[in-house]
């Protein structure tokens, strides 16, 4: 019995890192508390607006475009102006709390908030789902190859474009959408 209780407490501690559903409320709160503590350590403030933007991203659990965030902010604070939201996003980016997903021009919460090792991001081009692969050796090998080719990575992000399992399934379920780009190109 005692062992179970201990395990439960242990699991809870890690909830923010990898469960986007389930203990949403608790993990959302603990992630925000972590982000706040992290900003304090850096001598910065997670202001209410920055906190709210981070909370919206955490709650969505996927990459979200700035204008969607702005719409959500306006529902909460009708006077929210685009610059306010963009400034909050810039702050969260510079603090390493979120990633900018270049391929779909959206923002997603960093997988492990604050201790970000910047993994390799796999981004669903359809729904904005993001999975962060933590493969430091693979990442390093990629970076080495890129540098050997004479390039320097622009930014920390390595993004792979994809189609997540859910979008693949819903595509397969719609016979009408079976036309692949290649097929379309030949018609």
Residue 92 within any structural domain of the chain: yes
Ordered DSSP codes for 118-142:
--EEEEETTT--EEEE--HHHHHHH
Banded model confidence at residue 54, pLDDT cuts 50, 70, 90 = very high
pLDDT at position 24, please?
Answer: 57
Q: What is the mean pLDDT of residues 112-129?
A: 79
Residue with tokens 């904005």: 128
For the chain, percent of residues with pLDDT exceeding 70: 77
Split into its structural domains, the chain has a count of: 1
Task: Say what the alpha-carbon torsion angle 158, 16, 50, 85 is, to the nearest 10 degrees.
Answer: 50
| CATH value at residue 162 | 1.10.10.10
Q: For residues 17 and 113, give the distance between their C-alpha atoms in angstroms, rounded to a whole number.
A: 8
Residue 34 within any structural domain of the chain: yes
DSSP annotation of 64: B
Question: Do strands 106-109 and 158-162 pair parallel, antiparallel, or not at all (unpaired)?
Answer: unpaired
Residue 182 within any structural domain of the chain: no
pTM of the model: 0.68
Please write the tens of the pLDDT for every residue from 79-118: 889 999 999 999 999 888 998 888 889 998 887 676 556 6
Structural domain containing residue 146: 2-176
Residue 104 within any structural domain of the chain: yes
Q: For residues 64 and 83, give the distance between their C-alpha atoms in angstroms, rounded to a whole number.
A: 17
Q: Which residues contact 185 (CB under 8 A, 6 or more apart)?
A: none
Residue 184 within any structural domain of the chain: no
């Amino acid at each position: 019995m005692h062992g179970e209780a201990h395990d439960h407490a242990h699991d809870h501690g890690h909830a923010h890192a990898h469960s986007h559903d389930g203990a949403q409320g608790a993990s959302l709160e603990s992630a925000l508390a972590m982000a706040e503590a992290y900003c304090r350590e850096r001598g910065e403030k997670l202001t209410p607006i920055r906190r709210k933007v981070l909370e919206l991203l955490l709650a969505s659990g996927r990459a979200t475009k700035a204008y969607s965030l702005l719409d959500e902010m306006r529902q909460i604070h009708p006077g929210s102006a685009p610059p306010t939201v963009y400034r909050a996003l810039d702050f969260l980016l510079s603090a390493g709390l979120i990633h900018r997903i270049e391929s779909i021009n959206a923002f997603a919460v960093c997988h492990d908030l604050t201790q970000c090792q910047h993994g390799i991001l796999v981004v669903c081009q359809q729904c904005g789902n993001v999975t962060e692969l933590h493969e430091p050796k693979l990442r390093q090998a990629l970076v080495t190859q890129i540098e050997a080719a004479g390039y320097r990575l622009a930014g920390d992000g390595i993004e792979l474009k994809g189609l997540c399992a859910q979008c693949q399934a819903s595509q397969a379920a719609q016979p009408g959408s079976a036309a692949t780009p290649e097929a379309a190109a030949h018609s």
